Amino acid sequence: MILQQILRLSSLFRSAVSVHLRRNIGLSAIVFNKTKELDPVQKLFLDKIREYNTKSKQAGGPVDAGPEFQKDMNESLARLQRAYGEGDLTKFPEFKFEEPKFEEAPK
């Protein structure tokens, strides 16, 4: 009876330790992966994203977009404004939520 309890506790302890070790190994793999050099495909991908970001900041909008893109965008914005009303459609709408007014029920 005591032997069964010891074996049961040791299996619980073993499973808890294995879960703990797996989690630590998973986290340490992420940390070590960031410190080592990226593979060439990941490096190229990140370089292209950074390059696009700098070009986008310099252009002030989409990169390599010609006058036809701007014309199409203006037509789309005009069509949306006719369909949904006035306002600046290039900005995210601002929502204002008011606190509900709770009234106590008479006792």
CA 78 to centroid of chain Cα atoms: 31
Q: Where are the alpha helices (DSSP H) in 1-107?
A: 2-35, 40-59, 67-84
Residues 63/55, Cβ–Cβ less than 8 Å: yes
pLDDT over 90 at 49, yes or no: yes
Residues 89/77, Cβ–Cβ less than 8 Å: yes
pLDDT over 80 at 18, yes or no: no
Q: Express as a percent the part of the chain with pLDDT over 70.
A: 73
The reported pTM is: 0.39
pLDDT at 89: 75
* Integer CA distances (angstroms), 24 to 16, 30, 105, in order: 12, 10, 55
Q: For the chain, first and last CA: distance in Å?
A: 63
pLDDT at 63: 81
Quickly tell me which residue has 């601002």 as its tokens: 94
Q: pLDDT per residue over 26-47, tens digit each? A: 656 666 666 567 788 888 999 9
